[in-house]
Amino acid sequence: MRITSNMTANNAIYNLQQGRSRLDKLQELSTTEQNINRPSDDPIAARILMDIGDKLKATDQYSSNITKANTFMTVTNTALTGISDFLAQAKSLVNSVSSGSNDATERQTVNDQLVALKKQIIDMANTQSGDQYVFGGADSSTPPFNTANNTYAGDGTQLQIEVAQNSTQAMNLTGDRVLKGTGTSPSYGTTDILQTFDNLIAAVGDSTTPSNVTAIQQGAKDLETGAKQIANAQSDLAARMIRLENMTKMNTSNKNTLEDIASNIQYVDLAKLGVQLTQQQNAFSAALSATAKISQMSLLDYL
């Protein structure tokens, strides 16, 4: 087949265009420092990066959930510690009048202190984290307890948060389980702590009413089981907080791994790119020079 000057010119132009395209691509990579600037650059890699981006967003949401739950549980733990301290004070008071030989003034003093301790326990049981009552279950509109009676106004809902894909954790303890000794899964005990206080207040008597020693001794036992009930709740809460700590470490590790994978796919090797860019620039300049020399005698006939 006869090779014409026109064919030679077209081939030279095509090769120059290809070289220019490769040079432009390398210059774009050098400017953006990213391998994938549009999906068409590498559809498979672009899809992988999109999937990684979705997973990173989910991981960030899990971390946010865990932070919120940790704050909620920390407030809950503070309230439980306060309740435990008040129970210990109540037990000490009851021991001081367990013989029933105290005079009217002492009985009245202990009675008043027990009433005050019960109110303080109710205050702790109505603790809020933000606008949520920590012991109220899903009901955040009203305090779960009041001083008028010993009923529980909240519900037994275990508030679940997502801490990883397909993995949840209950972040709250409900007042019925903690103070009333009702509810199951988990159950911390069967003692109605608030009723125990009422029983003790009546048993201790006051300035006009003598003590009921048998009822005081029973109340002391109930305080002991109530303290164990609170300790069980604290242990459950501690286990949940440990799990959240472990999930935080896992999510951080997963995030670092995903970011490393994305970085390896997306970001260019600048040292390698610098060598390729220099080589392509030299090759393109050489191609321009060679094409100009070859075309001097033949291309002018076709202009």
Torsion sign (Cα): 236, 137, 87, 130: positive
Q: Report how far residue 134's alpha carbon sits from residue 19's, in angstroms, rounded to the nearest whole number.
A: 68
The label of the residue with tokens 């009422």 reads 198
User: 126 vs 19, 66, 74, 75, 241, CA distance in Å?
Assistant: 74, 23, 15, 11, 21
What was the pLDDT predicted at 44? 87
Q: Judging by beta carbons within 10 Å of its beta carbon (0-12, 13-18, 19+), is residue 204 exposed, middle or buried?
A: buried
Cα–Cα distance measured from residue 212 to residue 132, given in angstroms and rounded to the nearest whole number = 40
- Dist CA 144 CA 122 (whole Å): 9
* Per-residue model confidence as pLDDT tens digits over 60-115: 999 999 999 999 999 999 999 999 999 999 999 999 888 877 788 999 999 999 99
Q: Checking phi first, is residue 212 left (phi over 0); if not, alpha (psi -120 to 50) or beta? A: beta
The pLDDT of residue 274: 59
Cβ-defined contacts of 101-110 (< 8 Å, 24+): 102/211, 104/206, 104/207, 104/208, 105/207, 107/204, 107/205, 107/206, 107/207, 107/209, 107/210, 107/211, 108/206, 108/207, 110/204
- Give the residues of the chain that fall short of pLDDT 70: 1-35, 37-38, 41, 267-277, 280-303
Q: How far is CA 118 from CA 59, 143, 243, in A?
A: 43, 16, 33
Residue 45 has what pLDDT? 85
Cα angle at 258 between 255 and 264, to 5 degrees?
Answer: 140
Q: Are 100 and 211 in contact (CB under 8 A)?
A: yes
Helix axes 43-96, 104-125, angle to 10 degrees: 170
| DSSP-assigned letter for residue 160 | E
Length of the chain: 303
Q: Give the per-residue SS3 of 56-110.
A: HHHHHHHHHHHHHHHHHHHHHHHHHHHHHHHHHHHHHHHHHCCCCCCCHHHHHHH
Q: Contact at 8 Å (CB) between 220 and 95? A: yes
Residue 40 has a pLDDT of: 73
Give the dihedral of Cα atoms 6, 7, 12, 15; nearest 10 deg. 140
Using DSSP, state whether 34 is helix, strand or coil: strand
pLDDT value of residue 299: 45
Q: Calculate the CA dihedral of residues 127, 147, 174, 61 and round it to 10 degrees.
A: -30
What's the pTM?
Answer: 0.79
